[in-house]
Each structure stands twice: as structure tokens, then as C-alpha cells.
A and B are shown apart, each in its own frame.
Chain A
Amino acid sequence: MARIVHYLNQFFIGAGGEDAAAQPPSSQAGAVGPGRRLAQLLGDEHEIVATVSCGDDDAAGRPEAIAEIVALIAEHQPDLVVAGPAFTSGRYGLACARVAAGAKAAGLGAVAAMHPDNPGLDEAGGAPVVASGEAARLMGPALDTLSAAVKKLLAGEVLTDADGLVGLAPRRPRMAERTAAERAVDLALTRLGGDRDATEVPLPRFDRVTPAPPIEDLRDATLAILTEGALVPDGNPGALESARATKWLRYSLEGRDELKPGEWRSVHGGFSTVWANEDPHRILPLDAARRLERDGAIGRLYQEYLVTAGNGTSVANARRFGVEWAADLRHSGARAAILTAT
């Protein structure tokens, strides 16, 4: 009998919604929530021996969380780790993908399920990800796809598009039946025929952001200042990239009322940083934000600022930064943010 450990977020084990999003990793025996249906679909030759769970804010916002989750999973010595389905939930998708990646790195088999637009998709570290619909109302078909993929993987087979495989599939060289020129002409004709989506190279999609509701009373709220202007301490200790950033950094503002020229620098590669370095407040308005705090216009200023370089950043990375920043700020009680954009 194949041993499976299932990863779910706080919502799907029934622990709560956003109120429980800070829950640390935990483990319980057997299948829970959607895991029960998954177990039914998998039949008697497979057993979900445990369900490991974590709150979305904790899993996406605390750097050690994924390693702790993988350690809880590994205790059960599974033949396969199954994460999700996460649908289009950003934090949950990141968590599922990173759990799958962490499990794979630990020598365990793993598969995650999420919508192809989920920002977690590129984070699975080579572990397979199968498609789900957009939201939990599509749980039924998502579990059909996932259970079929689980059976194939445990039988030692490789997943393909036909199994719902999505995301960064490992590239395997093969001979095409027809030359690139012929395929290009075919695609052009297909487009002229009205099919706007046909492509051999899918491009990233831009999505619409649903505006957050307004803040009721800023005098009680914690305000964060963020920037994609690449302002970092002199010497760039965190080695932030000046273009095509793959990461973001955080620096403390505690006990600081201003940013002195020479101590802070913009390493942004997309504009002249002369003005930023002359007065770093032109990128990160700490002086004015402290004044808002002193005057009581806001409750307090968040004790750190978050920074990346917005310069040729891939859409996938930018979406991931957004999800991680939102989780980080929510987790720490910040309720509003001003992001300076260059």
C-alpha cells in the first residue's frame, strides 16, 4: 500500500479563515476535508496516512515555515506528498508549490495542484503541478485530475499535458515533425482564422487587482512604506539585483527618523540614481512618514521597509513579491501601505 501525506491550509482542515492564517505548521493522522474525497478516489491501494497543515500567512510569510512543514511530512515516510489543490489562492499556492519543492529536495515524491495563473506555479522546484479550476467550487474536477496524477506517479509514470500538467515542465529535447518555418506559417493561418490563443510560447498574463476596501480610521492603523526603487544600505549588503530582480529585502527603520545621504543608495539599474543618492527620501519618504506618525495622522509606522528593484522584473516574480509582501504585512498587523514606484 502506498503511503501519502496530504498538505492543506488552515481553511481546508476546518481551522478557520483569515483569523487562523497565522497558525504554525501542525500534523494530524489520516485524511481531512478534501483529503477524504481524494482517499476515496485513490481507492484501497493508497492510504493518506497524515494531513499536514499550516496557516497561509505563516506558510507564505515566515521563511522557516516550509522546512518545518517538510520535516512534519517526512516523519510519516510517505511514498508521495500531495499538496492542495490551491486553486487561485496566492499564499496557499506558494505554500503548496514550496512544500512540493521542499519534499522533492528531501528525496520524497511530490505533486501539487493549483490553477495555472497561481503565482506559486513557478515555485515547485521541478516537482510536477497539475491544473485545478479557479476556486473551491471546482474541488470535484480538481480532485479527479489530482487523484489520477497521484496514481500515475506512484506507478512510476511521468505526467504530461494530458494529465493536466502545468507550469515549468522540464524541457526534453525531441525532433519536431515539421520545421519551425512551417509551424510558424500554420500558426499565422490559425490566427487569421480567428484563434487568438494558439501559440508554442505562452506569454505571461497580466491580471486585474481587486482594490482593497478603504481604511476606516488611519489614526489606529499601522502604515508601511515600501519601494521598488532599490534603495538599500550603502554597500548593498543583501546584494539586491539592479535589474530582473529575483528577490526582495527588508531593512529596519526602528529608531530612525531620516535617511542620510551616503548611508543609503539606490542600486536601481533603470534610471539615474543621482537624485536618489543626494536625498534618499526622494525614494523612501521616511521623514514625511515619521511626521505623520508624530502628528497622529497614522497609528504608527511599520518598523521595517520592504524593497525590490522594479526593473525588467518578470511578471511571475513580481506577482510572487506582491503575495509575499501582502502576507508579511498582514502577519505583522500593517493595514495600509504606500509603495513608491519609479
Chain B
Amino acid sequence: MGAPRIVPTRGIPFPAGDPSLEPAEERAWRQRLLERALEAVSTAVHAPTLFEVK
């Protein structure tokens, strides 16, 4: 896409969620996504870079 920092998620209709999970699990997944995004904006990059959630 050309965006410098990308956190891959699980589906186009729910970039910050995952409807297949139980509500509490889904909230935990969303929290992990955002924490990973914070790591991404704190990391120097020189080209489009993927930050997978571990």
C-alpha cells in the first residue's frame, strides 16, 4: 500500500477486531493490535514495514 508502518489485521470489514472470538478475547486482540501499533510508531523505518502481532 505504500504506508510506512503497517500492522496486519484479520479482515477488511473489522480492522480492529475479530468477530470469531469471544468478546473478552476480541478486546484483548484489539489491545494487542494497538500496543503493536505503538511499537511501530516508535521504531525507525526506511520503507514500508510490516509489524505483525506476535
A interface residues (Cβ-Cβ under 8 A, vs B): 206, 208-215, 218, 223, 227, 229, 271-276, 278-279, 281-285, 287-289, 291-292, 297-298, 336, 338-342
Which chain A residue has the least Cβ–Cβ distance from B32?
A288
Write the B22-38 contact mask toward A (1 if CB under 8 angstroms, else 0).
00001100110111011
Closest 7 CB pairs of A and B: A282-B17, A211-B4, A282-B14, A285-B16, A340-B15, A271-B13, A336-B41
Q: How far is the CA of A336 from the CA of B27 in the complex (A)?
A: 22
Question: Is B46 a contact partner of A211 (Cβ separation < 8 A)?
Answer: yes
Which chain A residue has the least Cβ–Cβ distance from B30?
A288
Q: How far is the CA of A239 from the CA of B17 in the complex (A)?
A: 26
Output the least CB separation between A273 and chain B (Å). 7
B:6-54 near A, CB below 8 Å: 11-17, 19, 26-27, 30-31, 33-35, 37-38, 41-47
Question: Is A292 a contact partner of B2 (Cβ separation < 8 A)?
Answer: no
Question: Is A213 a contact partner of B16 (Cβ separation < 8 A)?
Answer: no
Total of A-B residue pairs, C-beta within 8 Å: 90
Question: Is A341 a contact partner of B37 (Cβ separation < 8 A)?
Answer: no
Q: How far is the CA of A227 from the CA of B15 in the complex (A)?
A: 10
Output the least CB separation between B41 and chain A (Å). 5
Question: Is A288 a contact partner of B43 (Cβ separation < 8 A)?
Answer: no
- Could you say which residues of chain B place their CB within 8 Å of the CB of A287? 27, 30
Q: Contacting B16 at CB < 8 Å: which of A274, A281, A291?
A: A281
Q: How far is the CA of A298 from the CA of B46 in the complex (A)?
A: 24
Interface size on B, residues (CB 8 A): 29
- Could you say which residues of chain A place their CB within 8 Å of the CB of B4? 209-212
Question: Is A283 a contact partner of B41 (Cβ separation < 8 A)?
Answer: no
Question: Is A291 a contact partner of B12 (Cβ separation < 8 A)?
Answer: no
Q: Contacting A291 at CB < 8 Å: which of B31, B42, B46?
A: B31
Question: Is A218 a contact partner of B38 (Cβ separation < 8 A)?
Answer: yes
Question: Is B12 a contact partner of A282 (Cβ separation < 8 A)?
Answer: no
Q: Contacting B19 at CB < 8 Å: which of A271, A278, A285, A340?
A: A278
- Could you say which residues of chain B place their CB within 8 Å of the CB of A285? 16, 30, 33-34
Question: Is B1 a contact partner of A288 (Cβ separation < 8 A)?
Answer: no
Q: List 24 A-B contacts (CB under 8 A).
A: A206-B2, A211-B44, A212-B4, A214-B41, A214-B44, A215-B42, A218-B38, A218-B41, A218-B42, A223-B38, A227-B15, A273-B13, A275-B14, A275-B17, A276-B13, A279-B19, A279-B26, A283-B14, A288-B27, A289-B34, A297-B35, A336-B41, A338-B37, A342-B15
- Could you say which residues of chain A place their CB within 8 Å of the CB of B43? 214
Which chain A residue has the least Cβ–Cβ distance from B47?
A211
Question: Is A215 a contact partner of B41 (Cβ separation < 8 A)?
Answer: yes
- Could you say which residues of chain A place their CB within 8 Å of the CB of B37? 338
Output the least CB separation between A257 and chain B (Å). 13
Question: Is B38 a contact partner of A284 (Cβ separation < 8 A)?
Answer: no
Output the least CB separation between B18 and chain A (Å). 8
Q: Contacting A288 at CB < 8 Å: which of B2, B14, B31?
A: B31
- Could you say which residues of chain A place their CB within 8 Å of the CB of B19? 275, 278-279, 282
Output the least CB separation between A44 and chain B (Å). 49
- Could you say which residues of chain B place their CB within 8 Å of the CB of A210? 4
Which chain A residue has the least Cβ–Cβ distance from B5?
A211
Question: Is B41 a contact partner of A340 (Cβ separation < 8 A)?
Answer: no
Which chain A residue has the least Cβ–Cβ distance from B46?
A211
Which chain B residue has the least Cβ–Cβ distance from A206?
B2
Which chain A residue has the least Cβ–Cβ distance from B16?
A285
